[in-house]
């Protein structure tokens, strides 16, 4: 809000149980794109830079507080739950009377700040500002009532509406902004003489009209913004709308997405130029893909940065890692938290890397485990190699210096250091530091018993 406008306070209504969700989880905690519905609404509210945010909870209030865990939020409880007007009444004692109150809903997660800001500006001019929609099928929504001059005069809930009123297509979203002092006065005059026996927030519209207060009715920039969630089916539909919106944004920016209907962002995804993403990929947390990155089908990336030209092949899982440029990961690779891979590193199929740093040009192409290790440049780790980093109580570190060649099926029992340029023969079990250069092996004699017979079934 600019200094010329009234201070903004936000009230978020989040008290409902959500009976149609058929779940013990409070409705506002059901996830959309990996975050609770309420978290999306709260983030949008925060972007408006309000003076205060008050969240009204009811069913599962302790769980909601614990899950959201936001500092600087005032929490109030609505008990019993006697309607939306009653819910806002619970928040009023926390709010001064010298600003504007914006009312949002914890189960309407796609609302955008660009849609809400004009409502706040309208209320700052001593008006009541409503967000409305025109729907082909308005069933279940309150209808906007207007007089012959087109001025808004009230809102009627569907259960209380006449047949003629139910034919109206202009509907209430429930989102509104009002001058704080006026809203407090209107709420004090609310009654509950209706089919539900509740105190409707929408009844303040008729009170504003009766007081001669101008009422602004604006529509959202997108029809999706005001969609709420009342069932698992609606949640699933909203999830796909959200993801299609994310895909559209990336496509517009030049990212190649094989199928926007099979694509999920559960956090933030930033892409450079000429990035290509195949089907069924999931991006969680904060993910950054450099120029020319290619991500194969069925990959999961969580809190990852990939350098330019890096390719992640199908069915790979990468978590909390930084990977340099022109690296090759997968297929079927797992990169675990705390890993840093330099440029041109190759991590192949069924290789797991955990809490390790691997230097430029090094490779582990087949069936290996590299954990709690520091690996230098131009190292080749053979198939079946394992860093034995855990003694049953503590983790120990393995150091492999530059230009080391490790044969297949080698066990490196940490703590151990392999010197620069060393070669370790296949099948070796290394329990002591290996000096630079030379060949290290654990010799075993091959024995053949020619008279041995295979056991036979009786």
Which two three-digit tokens encode residue 154? 């009230």
The set of residues, in sequence order, having a beta carbon less than 8 Å from that of 3 and lying 6+ positions away, is: none
Q: Radius of gyration over alpha carbons of the chain, in Å?
A: 31
Spot the catalytic one: 22, 30, 134, 366: 366
CA nearest 127: which of 42, 43, 205? 205
Residue 237 backbone phi and psi in degrees, to 5: -65, -40
CA nearest 333: which of 343, 324, 325, 345? 345
What's the Cα-to-Cα distance from 185 to each of 69, 95, 206, 214, 414, rounded to whole Å?
Answer: 32, 13, 13, 16, 72
Q: Quick one: how far is CA 192 from the chain centroid?
A: 39
- Bridge partners (DSSP) of residue 281 are 263
Q: Is 86 labeled as catalytic in the residue annotation?
A: no
- Bridge partners (DSSP) of residue 294 are 276, 311
Asked if residues 370 and 355 have their Cβ atoms less than 8 Å apart, the reply is no
d(CA 160, CA 35): 36
Angle, alpha carbons 371-373-376 (nearest 5°): 135
Active site residues: 366
């Amino acid at each position: 809000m600019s200094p010329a406008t009234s201070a903004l306070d936000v009230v978020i209504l989040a008290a409902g149980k959500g009976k149609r969700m058929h779940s013990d989880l409070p409705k506002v905690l059901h996830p959309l794109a990996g975050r609770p519905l309420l978290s999306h609404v709260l983030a949008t509210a925060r972007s408006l830079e309000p003076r205060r945010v008050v969240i009204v909870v009811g069913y599962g209030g302790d769980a909601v507080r614990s899950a959201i865990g936001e500092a600087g939020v005032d929490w109030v409880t609505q008990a019993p739950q006697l309607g939306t007007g009653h819910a806002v009444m619970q928040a009023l004692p926390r709010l001064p009377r010298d600003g504007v109150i914006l009312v949002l809903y914890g189960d309407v997660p796609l609302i955008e700040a660009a849609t809400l800001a004009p409502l706040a500006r309208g209320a700052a001019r001593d008006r009541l500002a409503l967000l409305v929609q025109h729907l082909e099928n308005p069933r279940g929504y309150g209808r906007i009532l207007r007089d012959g001059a087109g001025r808004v005069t009230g809102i009627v809930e569907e259960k209380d509406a006449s047949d003629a009123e139910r034919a109206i297509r202009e509907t209430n979203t429930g989102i509104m902004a009002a001058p704080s002092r006026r809203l407090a006065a209107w709420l004090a005059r609310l009654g509950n003489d209706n089919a539900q026996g509740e105190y409707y927030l929408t009844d303040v519209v008729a009170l504003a009209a009766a007081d001669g207060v101008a009422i602004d009715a604006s529509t959202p920039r997108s029809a999706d913004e005001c969609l709420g969630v009342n069932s698992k089916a609606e949640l699933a539909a909203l999830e796909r709308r959200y993801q299609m919106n994310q895909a559209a944004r990336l496509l517009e920016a030049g990212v190649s997405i094989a199928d926007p209907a099979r694509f999920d962002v559960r956090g933030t995804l930033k892409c450079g130029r000429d990035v290509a993403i195949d089907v069924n990929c999931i991006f969680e947390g904060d993910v950054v893909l450099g120029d020319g990155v290619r991500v194969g089908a069925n990959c999961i990336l969580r809190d990852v940065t990939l350098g330019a030209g890096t390719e992640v092949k199908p069915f790979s899982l990468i978590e909390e890692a930084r990977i340099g440029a022109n690296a090759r990961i997968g297929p079927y690779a797992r990169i675990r938290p705390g890993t840093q891979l330099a440029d041109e590193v190759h991590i192949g199929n069924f290789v797991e890397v955990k809490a390790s740093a691997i230097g430029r040009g090094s490779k582990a192409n087949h069936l290996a485990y590299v954990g709690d290790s520091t690996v230098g440049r131009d190292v080749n780790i053979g198939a079946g190699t394992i860093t034995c980093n855990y003694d049953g109580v503590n983790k120990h570190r393995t150091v492999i210096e530059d230009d080391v060649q490790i044969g297949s099926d080698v066990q490196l029992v940490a703590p151990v250091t392999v010197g620069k340029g060393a070669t370790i023969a296949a099948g070796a079990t290394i329990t002591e530091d290996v000096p630079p250069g030379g060949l290290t092996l654990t010799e075993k004699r091959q024995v053949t018993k020619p008279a041995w017979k295979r056991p036979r079934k009786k």
